[in-house]
Amino acid sequence: MAFRMTRGREAAQRLGDQRAALKAQAIRTEAVLNAPVQTGRLRQSIGIQKVGDGHYRVGTSVSYAPFVEYGTRHQRAQPFMRPAVEKVRQQR
């Protein structure tokens, strides 16, 4: 009986991980579509990293991404990550 429960938990965990992976991919897709393009480097740098069971991190490695997302006193904000997260969050 315990064997079945373990298999059931493992199946549920795999399903949860698959759902999280799909959400992460949807966020990445939206962020890529939202990202402003000058050279294309920002868009190309947006990726997904698995950080644990059912947990993924979507982000970028370019150093200027926060300045684009939040703006500076010389440049207006051009959010691309936050709108992507909000759009996927609303699609529940």
Closest CA to 18 of 51, 48, 57, 55: 55
Q: What does the pLDDT look like over 73-92, one tens digit per residue?
A: 999 999 999 999 999 999 86
**What share of the chain has pLDDT > 70, as a percent?**
90
pTM above 0.95, yes or no: no
Size of the chain, expressed as the number of residues it contains: 92
What is the distance between the alpha carbons of residues 49 and 62, in angstroms, rounded to a whole number? 15
Break the chain into its structural domains and give their ranges: 2-90
Q: How is residue 51 written in tokens?
A: 């950080």
Each residue's pLDDT tens digit, 42-56: 999 999 999 988 899
